[in-house]
Amino acid sequence: MPVPPEFPLRVFYDGSCSVCAAEMARYRAKNHGGRLVFVDIGDPAFDPAPYGIPLDAFMAQMHAIDRSGRVYRAVEAFWAIWQAFPASTLYGLLGTLVMLPGVNLLARLGYRGFARIRTYLPRRTPLCTGGSCRIDRH
């Protein structure tokens, strides 16, 4: 089992991925006691340099970095996120279950498959910039 995260935990996600953004919205809506800080790596202003991780590595799999600088990737990143929720909640239960040997293997395989198809999923459309949006009538 990985070392438990020291909160706050920075959660790096691709905000242009509709599935990824929806999942992060669910986490934001739940009471995590301010232990999660969300960082959209799809934002053009995102700079990966301070983290020492290339953007393509961030894009290849989920990352979370705790207060002490410990990095969690893929399934372990979700495990770290779920540690922010009380054990009596669904996410708290998932945080326990995902590290069981058989469940962990299935979770890793499932995540690996998702990571491979993620780029083919529908993308979120960017918000209008400049205060107005052009409506194409063609």
Nearest to 41 by CA among 31, 33, 51, 32: 51
Angle value at C-alpha 108, between 18 and 22, nearest 5 degrees: 15
pLDDT in tens, 45-92: 999 999 999 999 999 999 999 999 999 999 999 999 999 999 999 999
Specify the pLDDT at position 55.
97
Listed by start position, the domains of the chain span: 9-120
Distance CA 15, CA 36 (A): 16
Rounded to two decimals, what is the model's pTM?
A: 0.86
| Phi-psi map region of 32: left, alpha, beta (phi>0 left; psi -120 to 50 alpha) | alpha
- Cβ(90)–Cβ(26) below 8 Å: no
